[in-house]
Amino acid sequence: MLAVKVLIPSPLLSYTQARAVEADGATLDALLDDLERRFPGIRFRMVDEQAHLRRHVRFFVNGRQVFELRQALQPHDEVAIVQALSGG
Amino acid sequence: MPDSHDLQPTPAGVSTPRDGSTLLLVATRKGAWIFHGNAARTDWMVDGPHFLGHIINHVVLDPRDGNTLLAAAKTGHLGPTIFRSNDMGATWHEARRPPAFATASAGDGGRAVDHTFWLTPCHANEPDAWYAGTSPQGLFRSEDGGDTWKPFSCINDDPTYRTWMGTVQDGTPDGPKLHSVIVDPRDPAHLYVGMSGGGVHETVDGGRSFTPLLKGLEVVEGFDPATPTFHDPHCVRLCPGNPDRLYQQNHCGIYRLDRPGDTWRRIGRNMPPEVGDIGFPMVVHPRDAQTAWVFPMDGQTVWPRTSPNGKPAAYVTRDGGESWHRLDRGLPAEQAWWTVKRQAMCADTCDPVGLYVGTTSGELWMSDVEGGTWTCIARHLPEIYAVEAWTGPAPA
């Protein structure tokens, strides 16, 4: 099991009630599944039913943007979920 | 401008009215508001915002229990969901499974719900069942009060219907939509739906099969009216006073259909030519099927989609569309360039009927005399997407 630190953006605080949580997962996909188990509903706000990352949600692993759910994660990685700019 | 009605704040959680008073459920681009009117509809208390910053496309109260609220929500960043409340908005609970299309196999080009646009409670004999129409066009049903939703695959994934729905590029600027989900009050298996684009369709077998209902409807010049893709119904309504009569505000005019007939008649031809018969909303009288209202917009040249000449007005027919009469007393006389979207005009069930209009400029207007005079209830709201009215039962 991996302990990955996940930074939560303000639009998702209603799910986690915390700016940072720890989750498990060998890939970004698995990490989001783990978040879903603990915070029901959170995954669908970020990933659509065709397993595409939503247009204005971005993921950074250790400061580097990633675009694939199959992105591998290592123990003690830091995943930042970021709300991209989406207009006024 | 006339004075606004008296407007007082009220905390969330005020109970559903049981004194014949009226609620207004206002969905906007930046949240939802609930307006509590008194029985005379002269004073309104505001409760909100709910979901500040969320894009709320529709808020609907379940008329079967007079208690359950559903709200269709998304944000600029996050995917779509449904929130439910059983205490008039004091607390909200997110749906465990919001509307979502079936996951396609790799390479099949499956669709993803961008937002839920339309909510309709199912038949009175189907408690806790709801329909949802989405963008892109999809129809979904919940059997548990909006907590979990399943797709109507017979239309969502039907190859012919998928062709008729077109692509996102074929749809309205904020996404193609399935809307105007109408349940025949005499038969829960008889439904109508509208698609922009894609036309009006009917099922008589509870959704196992759908058929187009397009005869008589016009399309933009140069296109083939036999092709459902080119049809753009903006809003379709069934008359509670005569469920065999439908009215429709279309991209190409105002229409009436009397079943079992299947040919729409363009009653908008009887509108004043200088105003035309283009608009978004269509409102029917709760008891008199001869009476309906529209709110025209400018559909000339580049389609400004504003009040014609900056002079907003509703129009009413009292004879099934044979004639129309302008209703603008109290509304701005000039330089009012707003639009009323398809879900942003509605009627209550009082006598005389109250009419309610939400504008793209964030104003909420009402008339307690069926459009004879108008008064502003609220200003400075975000762009209004939908307004629903609900009048509680009068005391015994």
Q: Give dist(CA B391, CA B396) in Å, integer.
A: 15
Contact A54 B79 (CB under 8 A): yes
- Candidates B316, B342, B299, B308; CA nearest to B194 is B342
Angstroms from B103 CA to nearest CA on chain A: 5
CB B186 within 8 A of CB B197: no
Domain ranges of chain B: 6-391
B102 — contact with chain A (CB < 8 Å)? yes
Residues 25-84 of B with CB under 8 A from A: 75-79, 81
Give pLDDT, residue B396: 63
Question: What count of Cα atoms within 13 Å lies in the side-chain half-sphere of residue B108?
Answer: 14
Contact B77 A84 (CB under 8 A): yes
pLDDT tens digits, one per residue of A44-84: 999 999 999 998 999 999 999 999 999 999 989 999 999 88
Q: How far is CA B72 from the centre of its chain?
A: 13
A10 — contact with chain B (CB < 8 Å)? no
Tokens of A75: 């123990």
**Burial of residue A67, with CB atoms counted within 10 A of its CB: 0-12 exposed, 13-18 middle, 19 or more buried:** exposed
How does pLDDT run along chain B (396 residues), one tens digit per residue? 333 444 554 444 455 666 788 999 999 999 999 999 999 999 999 999 999 999 999 999 999 999 999 999 999 889 999 999 999 999 999 999 999 999 988 767 789 999 999 999 999 999 999 999 999 999 999 999 999 999 997 899 999 999 999 876 666 778 999 999 999 999 999 999 999 999 999 999 999 999 999 999 999 999 999 999 999 999 999 999 999 999 999 999 999 999 999 999 999 999 999 999 999 999 999 999 999 999 999 988 788 889 999 999 999 999 999 999 999 999 999 999 999 999 999 999 999 999 999 999 999 999 999 999 999 999 999 999 999 999 987 766
- The beta-carbon neighbor of A41 closest among B75, B76, B94 is B94
pLDDT tens digits, one per residue of A15-54: 999 999 999 999 999 999 999 999 999 999 999 999 999 9
CA distances from A57 to A80, B75, B177 (A): 10, 11, 23
3 state SS for chain B: CCCCCEEEECCCCCCCCCCCCEEEEEEECCEEEEEEECCCCCEEEEEEEECCCCEEEEEEECCCCCCCEEEEEECCCCCCEEEEECCCCCCCEECCECCCCCCCCCCCCCCCCCEEEEEEECCCCCCCCEEEEEECCEEEEECCCCCECEECHHHHCCHHHHHHHCCHHHCCCCCCEEEEEEECCCCCCCEEEEEECCEEEEECCCCCCCEECCCCCCCCCCCCCCCHHHCCEEEEEEECCEEEEEEEEECCEEEEEECCCCCCECHHHHCCCCCCCCEEEEEECCCCCCCEEEEECCCCCCCCCCCHHHCCCEEEECCCCCCCEEECCCCCCCCCCCCCCCECEEECCCCCCCEEEECCCCCEEEECCCCCCCEEEECCCCCEEEEEEEECCCCC
Q: Which residue of B has its CA nearest to A12?
A: B78
Question: What count of Cα atoms within 13 Å lies in the side-chain half-sphere of residue B196?
Answer: 26
Q: Give B110's contacts in chain A (Cβ within 8 Å).
A: 49-50
Question: What is the count of residue pairs from A and B with beta carbons less than 8 Å apart?
Answer: 54
Q: Give B104's contacts in chain A (Cβ within 8 Å).
A: 50
Contact B103 A50 (CB under 8 A): yes
Domain B6-391: CATH superfamily is YVTN repeat-like/Quinoprotein amine dehydrogenase (2.130.10.10)
Residues sharing a CB contact under 8 Å with residue A60, sequence separation 6 or more, in sequence order: A66, A79, A80, A82
Fold of A4-83: Ubiquitin-like (UB roll) (3.10.20)
Say if pTM beats, i.e. exceeds, 0.90. yes
Interface predicted TM-score (ipTM): 0.89
Residues sharing a CB contact under 8 Å with residue A80, sequence separation 6 or more, in sequence order: A6, A7, A59, A60, A61, A63
Quote the percentage of chain A above a pLDDT of 70.
Answer: 93
A47 — contact with chain B (CB < 8 Å)? yes
Q: How far is CA B68 from the centre of its chain?
A: 18
Phi, psi for residue A31 in degrees, rounded to 5: -60, -45
User: First and final CA of chain B: distance in angstroms?
Assistant: 39
Q: Which of A8, A48, A56, A69 to mutate to test the interface with B (most CBs of B within 10 A)?
A: A48
Contact B78 A45 (CB under 8 A): yes
- The beta-carbon neighbor of B112 closest among A45, A50, A56 is A50
| H or E segment and range at residue A82 | strand A78-83
Task: Name the DSSP letter for residue A73.
Answer: -
Q: Give dist(CA B231, CA B216) in Å, integer.
A: 11
- The beta-carbon neighbor of B79 closest among A40, A45, A83 is A45
Q: Give dist(CA B339, CA B280) in Å, integer.
A: 9
